[in-house]
Amino acid sequence: EPEVTQTPSHQVTQMGQEVILRCVPISNHLYFYWYRQILGQKVEFLVSFYNNEISEKSEIFDDQFSVERPDGSNFTLKIRSTKLEDSAMYFCASTGTGANSPLHFGNGTRLTVT
């Protein structure tokens, strides 16, 4: 069964550094999402993306965050200058063309900012 893949599985970075989290959505999916989960807390929406532009973003998704689909397969989340509070698990998701198509999530990237 096709799946969403995310790399790396764990990223450690120093405060102030830029990080790029990578995702390969399911190949025929058109809608893409990033979520994050701070340890022990709920899963929070960051941003949705369709047709090469942001569809919706949350208050968390400030100017330090950006998303890009640089080619036909990858979907990336960039954090320009990481803060300690950015430490979390970041999940990518994609969904297909039907309105009832559920979101399929990757296994996540654990980001640790030191």
Partner 1 sequence: GEDVEQSLFLSVREGDSSVINCTYTDSSSTYLYWYKQEPGAGLQLLTYIFSNMDMKQDQRLTVLLNKKDKHLSLRIADTQTGDSAIYFCAERGTGFQKLVFGTGTRLLVSP
Sites of contact with partner 1 (CB under 8 A): 31, 33, 35, 42-45, 48, 50, 55-56, 91, 93, 95, 99-100, 102-108
Question: For partner 1, which is the closer residue by CB, 42 or 62?
Answer: 42
Question: For partner 1, which is the closer residue by CB, 17 or 112?
Answer: 112
CB of 12 to partner 1, least distance (A): 16
Question: For partner 1, which is the closer residue by CB, 23 or 113?
Answer: 23
CB of 44 to partner 1, least distance (A): 8
CB of 108 to partner 1, least distance (A): 5
Question: Per residue, what are the HEC states of the chain?
Answer: CCCCEEECCEEEECCCCCEEEEEECCCCCCEEEEEEECCCCCEEEEEEEECCEEEEECCCCCCCEEEECCCCCCEEEEECCCCHHHCEEEEEEEECCCCCCCCEECCCEEEEEC
CB of 110 to partner 1, least distance (A): 8
What is the spatial distance between Cα 91 and Cα 33, in angstroms, rounded to a whole number? 8
**To which residue do tokens 């200058």 refer?**
81
Question: For partner 1, which is the closer residue by CB, 14 or 100?
Answer: 100
